[in-house]
Amino acid sequence: MRLQPGDQAPGFELPDSTDTPRTLADFGGQSVILFFYPKAFTPGCVGESCDFRDRSEPLAAAGYAVVGVSPDPVDVLARFRTEYQLDYPLLSDVDHAVAGAFGAWGTKKNYGKEYEGLIRSTVVVGPDGLVEAAWYNVRAKGHANRVLEALASADQ
């Protein structure tokens, strides 16, 4: 089920790339941009992750923390974060329970075949735990910039 603005965001605890458990509460006082991506080191995921890295300064200045979530194991996330100098947490959702709770896991179609997988999605959760915005089945290229623009126009 996809989340809508005003919905209560599901709680979670996931390990980050250092194997430290992280929750939404760890970002208290900030809005959190959770972007769900399918697989580290793939071209689309590298581009999207680096785009969020390159926009993390203006997002942080506006009160937003960026967090990446994927089904990759912790050791892969550690290498990914280091190789691409990602300056925000990456969370490991190997059983895709959190992606499912956020509406980012489901049936996908590729070249006419249907399968279950991670749906590239972004959900913004406010400091009150409510969903501020949600985008599903997004294109990786340019998505971080579209998020920044949408959040900037919403703050005006």
Residues 94-108: tens digit of each pLDDT: 999 999 999 999 988
Verify whether residue 50 is a known catalytic residue. no
- Superfamily designation of domain 14-151: Glutaredoxin (3.40.30.10)
Of the candidates 45, 67, 138, 140, the residue annotated as catalytic is 45
Please check the confidence at residue 156 and state whether its pLDDT lies above 70: no
pTM to 2 decimal places: 0.94
Is the pLDDT at 92 greater than 70, yes or no?
Answer: yes
Region 97-121: what's the mean pLDDT?
93
CA neighbor of 37 nearest in space, from 7, 65, 66: 66
Of 62, 80, 64, the closest CA to residue 72 belongs to 80
